[in-house]
């Protein structure tokens, strides 16, 4: 979808889309637009401009007009949803060319609000083209905005042209990256195997200018990533250890914030010997939502050329049942040198993250270290599907992450990681066990396990995103990928380097 920015609206046969908040209907600029277009008073009187409401009109000068209600909150999340729903609901009636008119809003909104509205609206339109039917063989309709000829013209005042242009670019760039990683999460476990994730990272790195290295099983073995190898023992597919590193092209010797990310890349999780119940096990193709967030963040950060030194690590394997699979009671090694007693083979994500965190810390020494994982059902039972859980002893880091999530609509909320919980992970036979075995504080004890492998890093945070990376989106019949994490992390990085 190509973007064009203009300052005046001339007669056009394209659909004119106008975002509206309830108060905007009363503004002098909107009343003037209403008079010029001679809009139906009866229809206008019935329009409330509540979130994700629509009014289709014909004007005197403009052939087709669509008002999109944003509601009172005017949040990124609400705007994105309204435009995505519009793009999905009306795709059969859309052309490849669309005009978005923001000009009448600018008497009531500042540059920051206009930028947020633009980015969210364009992001929503880009996401509206998503087609979850990845492997259907029948011919399917191509969304008009997905065609090579698709374009969006944005009408804005000259005062805000620069901000609108940048925000529109970011909205498209973010949307395209989210679509790509959503494909990975929605793909079945026999399609999005570790090799595929590694190739995605290699291709993305070549296209957008960041370094990617993918360790083979032989290299993983010689490096000593024993916990990753242990989880992989039951699999027919080779594991991969993906290392990505981005620096802006013109960085030179400039001091940049150094941030490291680790994403859980379990491409399918049967639970291993501690096998899961059959109900909804097919959704365990989504257990690499943390990896998708890290892959997407690396790509989008490179697209936007953010002034940050970013490292992303994705340990990836599936977790299957086989004669060679690890068993409850086994003791395994790890990259850190610490030994782990296996209590539950379904607590496998934390094992591969342990190797990822220890490798990142030792070899890159980042100033900030974050890991993301669809880790525990406990976090879902605590927060439902409204937000992710965040754990850290660094209150400033929690505050920074939370602020970024609130802006972008990908919320997180802190849970305690007090030292008293470490006893839940004490083992009689090894340095630590991988599962507490207690019916309480599951997300917290998982975080304590991960903390054990951070070497007491002062600015580490763990994000448990099990309830928000995959769920009922309203845009598919089954649960599907949400694209969560990319927006949160990039917003965090942008605020960090301001």
Q: Domain of 282: which CATH number? A: 3.40.630.10
Question: Is position 163 within any domain?
Answer: no
- Both 257 and 335 in one domain: the answer is yes
Same domain? For 241 and 345 the reply is yes
Q: Which residues are catalytic?
A: 276, 350
Does residue 71 sit in the same domain as residue 25? Answer: yes
Say whether both 138 and 215 belong to one domain. Answer: no
What does each of the 498 residues of the chain score in pLDDT, given as a tens digit?
999 999 887 766 789 999 988 888 888 888 888 888 888 888 888 899 999 999 999 887 788 999 999 988 779 999 999 999 999 999 999 999 999 998 776 545 688 889 999 999 999 999 999 999 999 998 888 999 999 999 999 999 888 899 999 999 999 999 999 999 999 999 999 999 999 999 999 999 999 999 999 999 999 999 999 999 999 999 999 999 999 999 998 877 789 999 999 999 999 999 999 999 999 999 999 999 999 999 999 999 999 999 999 999 999 999 999 999 999 999 999 999 999 999 999 999 999 999 999 999 999 999 999 999 999 999 999 999 999 999 999 999 999 999 999 999 999 999 999 999 999 999 999 999 999 999 999 999 999 999 999 999 999 999 999 999 999 998 999 999 999 999 999 999 999 988
Number of domains present in the structure of the chain: 2
Domain extent for 33: 2-157
Say whether both 194 and 144 belong to one domain. no
Same domain, 190 and 118: no
Going by C-alpha positions, the residue among 347, 299, 324, 335 that lies closest to residue 219 is 335
Residues 110 and 217 occupy one common structural domain: no
In a domain, 165, yes or no: no
Examine residue 169 and state whether it is found in any structural domain, yes or no.
Answer: no
* 467, 361: one domain: yes
Question: 81 and 215 in one domain?
Answer: no
Tell me: do 114 and 184 sit in the same domain: no
Beta-carbon-side half-sphere exposure of residue 488 (alpha carbons within 13 Å):
32
**Is residue 172 assigned to a domain?**
no
End-of-domain residue from the set 127, 157, 187 = 157
- 212, β-bridge pairs: 244
- Taking every pair of Cα atoms in the chain, the longest distance, rounded to a whole number of angstroms, is 80
**pTM for the model:** 0.96
The span from the CA of 461 to the CA of 470, in Å, is 21
Whether residue 138 is found in the same domain as residue 208: no
> Does 450 map to a domain?
yes
Tell me whether residue 164 is in a domain: no
Is residue 480 situated within a structural domain? yes
Clarify whether residues 304 and 186 are in a common domain: yes
């Amino acid at each position: 979808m190509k973007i064009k920015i203009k300052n005046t609206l001339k007669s056009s046969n394209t659909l004119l889309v106008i975002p509206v908040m309830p108060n905007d209907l009363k503004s002098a600029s909107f009343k003037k637009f209403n008079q010029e277009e001679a809009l139906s008073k009866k229809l206008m009187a019935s329009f409330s401009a509540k979130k994700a409401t629509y009014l289709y009109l014909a004007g005197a000068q403009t052939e087709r007009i669509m008002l999109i209600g944003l509601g009172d909150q005017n949040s990124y999340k609400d705007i994105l949803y309204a435009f995505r729903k519009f793009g999905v609901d009306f795709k059969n009636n859309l052309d490849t060319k669309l005009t978005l008119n923001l000009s009448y809003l600018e008497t009531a909104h500042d540059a920051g609000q206009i930028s947020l509205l633009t980015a969210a609206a364009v992001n929503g339109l880009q996401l509206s083209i998503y087609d979850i039917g990845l492997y259907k063989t029948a011919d399917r309709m191509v969304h008009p905005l997905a065609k090579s000829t698709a374009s969006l013209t944005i009408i804005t005042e000259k005062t805000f042209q620069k901000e609108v242009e940048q925000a529109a670019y970011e909205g498209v760039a973010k949307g395209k990256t989210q679509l790509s990683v959503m494909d990975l999460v929605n793909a079945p476990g026999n399609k999005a195997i570790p090799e595929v994730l590694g190739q995605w990272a290699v291709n993305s790195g070549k296209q957008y200018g960041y370094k990617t290295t993918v360790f083979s099983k032989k290299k993983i073995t010689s490096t000593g990533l024993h916990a990753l190898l242990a989880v992989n023992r039951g699999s027919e597919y080779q594991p991969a250890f993906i290392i990505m590193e981005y620096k802006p092209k013109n960085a030179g010797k400039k001091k940049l914030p150094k941030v490291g990310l680790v994403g859980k890349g379990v491409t399918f999780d049967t639970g291993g010997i501690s096998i899961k119940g059959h109900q909804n096990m097919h959704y365990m193709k989504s257990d690499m939502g943390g990896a998708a967030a890290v892959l997407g963040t690396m790509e989008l950060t490179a697209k936007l050329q953010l002034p940050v030194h970013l490292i992303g690590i994705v340990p990836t394997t599936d977790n299957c049942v086989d004669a060679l699979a690890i068993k409850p009671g086994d003791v395994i090694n790890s990259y850190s040198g610490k030994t782990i007693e296996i209590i539950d083979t379904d607590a496998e994500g934390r094992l591969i993250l342990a190797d990822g965190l220890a490798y990142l810390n030792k070899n890159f020494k980042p100033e900030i270290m974050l890991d993301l994982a669809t880790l525990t059902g406990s976090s879902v039972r605590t927060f439902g599907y409204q937000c992710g859980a965040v754990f850290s002893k660094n209150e400033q880091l929690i505050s920074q992450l939370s602020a970024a999530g609130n802006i972008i609509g990908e919320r997180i909320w802190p849970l305690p990681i007090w030292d008293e919980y470490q006893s839940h992970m004490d083992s009689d036979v090894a340095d630590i066990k991988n599962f507490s075995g207690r019916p309480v504080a599951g997300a917290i004890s998982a975080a304590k396990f991960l903390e054990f492998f951070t070497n007491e890093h002062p600015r580490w945070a763990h994000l448990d995103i099990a309830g928000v990376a995959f769920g009922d989106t309203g845009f598919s019949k089954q649960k599907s990928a949400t694209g969560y994490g990319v927006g949160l992390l990039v917003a965090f990085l942008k605020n960090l380097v301001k």
